[in-house]
Homo-oligomer: A and B are copies of this chain.
C-alpha cells in the first residue's frame, strides 16, 4: 500500500484535470505547498470546515476515478515490470552490457522509469 500522500499525488497527476479549479487549488495547497487547514482557510477566505470538506470531496473523487478506471493501477503494473526487465539486463556481465543494443536498451528503460517517477 502506497503512502497516502504519494498515492494522492499520483491520482492527482492522473485525474486532476477532471476536478474543479477550486478542488485542484485545495489539493495543491495541502499536498504540494503543505499548508495547514487554518492557513488555507485564511488564504481562500473560507472556514476551516469548508476547506476540510473541499479536500475530502476532491480526494474522494480521485479515489472514485481510480476505482472506475484503474489506469494508475495499470501504469504501476507496467512500471514494476519495466523495472524488473531493467534489473535483469543490469545483472548481465559488463562485456554484454557494452553491446550497443544492450547499452541502448538500458538507457531507454532508465528514461521510461524516470518518466514514471516524474509523472
Contact = CB atoms under 8 A, between A and B. Distances in A.
A101 to B, nearest CB: 4
Number of identical monomers bound together in the oligomeric complex: 2
A112 interface: yes
B69 A17 contact: yes
Interface string A26-70: 000000000000000000000000000000000000000100110
Interface string A104-116: 1100110110000
A92 interface: yes
Interface of A: 14-15, 17-18, 65, 68-69, 71, 74-75, 78, 81-82, 84-85, 88-89, 91-92, 96, 99, 101-102, 104-105, 108-109, 111-112, 119
